[in-house]
A and B are shown apart, each in its own frame.
Chain A
């Protein structure tokens, strides 16, 4: 980030707040094995469905209560955060790489390559995100990697479209023509000259999309088609509490708040980055 962009970003209090939210939730999830008071997978049956409390006889209180198997909700949320956040980063990371490369090639090479890629983009855009992911999970069966592929299947499209339109505008810029005249090959032009110019846009897209992917993971896991219990993810814990809404409101409530805070943080951060790095993206539709 250039110093001008950094100054603009630092002045944006909402974006900084979002960044702090993301940092706190990511760090506490990352450190979950060392900081959580209880085992996320093994509960104590005598302690089942305990309501949130700051005191306990054993000295290790259940701050956010326990579920029907006596597992500590806070510990499960922090461990679940490891799964949900890393899945979000993995899916978006893969999709950004694919989207950036295809977007650059599509814009610069043009012709039938461009037509083919863009038709594929059009077709994938025609599928509602969740419907496609659900059908793919039905086809692949459960599993972490399958979930990553099912979510990344359409995810790259957003980055591809935005990178392509930015690269199209640069394709005939003087510095690219100069480099071409000097005998630079395709590879060099794409990755040495065009790539650095589309990176700010890609960073903004990536940030804003992490939140979306985490929402989709929660939906799939809630339906029982994503992360499989007993392993916790935020969506899995919400599903755990569904049958206990009448007796234990806390099981489903708190993981949802974790999702809300993380996605809110990512969105604030992403919008701040967008205003600082690439304000033109404001008119782009980045959801779905």
Chain B
């Protein structure tokens, strides 16, 4: 196991380097000089001054040296400075991460709470009306754009029913002091029930819009995995021994059937994080997704670069976690030559 873990970590190194290289290339190939972009807003600057700044930023260095400096910067947590905000990119990204994580985790929670029971019912009652409805709904779930679902939810819950707020994370005047950046956690820590409820009301629609795809996917995987497990010999043995049906499904079959589900969830969490920017834009959610969209629109390339890097590295880590969780949970996987 340890050697498998070590080998997977070593395998992740070239991917990590490749990712940083692609991100660096994105910036390097950007039309227009970053110094011109940066200085363009400060007014007229002489050629000598530009050359001096270029030298100071190391932009007159050879390609590989610049890449080396970029890597060294990442190692120290320095992702450069934003052209528009004139602040360190790492800071601009860091302050947006809690909002995005809170939304993504909440969306994942909704997805799992619905998808796993629904998948179990569908697998136990295969080809029944319930199963067919579930299958159709899950197909619809993966076929529709999440941001559009968000707009439909707004039309229903905000315009027609007037029960949920359209945008933002929290209303004014709840008396909540943000500390961790995770507003729900803050509200609970401070024992502020009113604020917690308000935060939940703001979370509901964007989280639901984001969760649809993951919900659909998780349900389908749970259904197919559990259907397969229920047909296994050991499940039949448990039934023959007189174990009650509910216990057979949950204790004997589901425990093993959830294995591929765990892996899929880890992979989907990456997809969820990487696809959330449109939903964040719809709900004016002050997260990382909105930051990268704004950065692209204002041509703030250092910020775009930093965001893309953070997204990609998170993705690499989640993929690694998915692989490792599978290997860890599945005793049948041998950790010999073929990982």
Contact = CB atoms under 8 A, between A and B. Distances in A.
A260 B143 contact: yes
A131 B312 contact: yes
A260 B154 CA distance: 18
A218 B279 CA distance: 12
Contacts of A120: 18
Interface string A118-153: 011011111111111011111100000000000000
A246 B39 CA distance: 42
A238 B312 contact: no
Interface in B120-168: 139-140, 142-145, 147-148, 151-152, 154-155, 159
A252 B149 CA distance: 10
Nearest to A225: B296
Interface stretch (B59-67, B246-254, B266-274): B266-274
A222 interface: yes
Nearest to B281: A223
Interface string B243-286: 00000000000000000000000010011011101100110000
A129 B18 CA distance: 16
A138 B84 CA distance: 15
A126 B315 contact: yes
Counting contact residues on chain B (CB < 8 A from A), the size range is: 35 or more
Contacts of A249: 155, 159
Nearest to A251: B151
Interface string A219-252: 1001111000000000100100110011001001
Contacts of A288: 267, 270-271, 274
Contacts of A139: 26, 29-31
B316 interface: yes
A138 B307 contact: no
Contact of A123 (B22, B271, B282, B295): B22
Contacts of B151: 238, 241-242, 245, 252-253, 256
A127 B311 contact: yes
A211 B281 contact: no
12 contacts: A123-B22, A125-B319, A126-B19, A128-B275, A131-B308, A131-B312, A135-B308, A238-B151, A249-B155, A260-B144, A267-B142, A268-B139
Name the 10 nearest CB pairs between A and B, nearest first.
A128-B274, A123-B18, A138-B296, A256-B148, A263-B143, A264-B143, A260-B144, A131-B311, A219-B278, A249-B155
